[in-house]
Amino acid sequence: LASLGRRSRYAPVYIVWNEDEIERVVLPVSGNGMWSMLRGFIALEADFNTIAGMTFYEQNETPGVGDQITRPEWLAQWRGRQILDDRGERRFRVSEGRVEPESELARHEVDALTGATVTAEAVTGLVHFWFGPQSFGGVLEEWRENPPQPPAEGS
The residues spanned by each domain of the chain are 14-145
| Three state DSSP letters for 65-118 | CHHHHHCHHHHHHHCCCECECCCCCECCEECCCCCCCCCCCHHHEECCCCCCHH
Q: What pLDDT does 3 receive?
A: 55
Q: What pLDDT does 122 receive?
A: 94
Q: What pLDDT does 63 receive?
A: 87
pLDDT digits (tens, 9 = 90+) for 3-40: 555 566 778 899 999 989 999 999 999 999 999 999 99
pTM: 0.89
Residues of the chain with pLDDT under 70: 1-8, 154-155
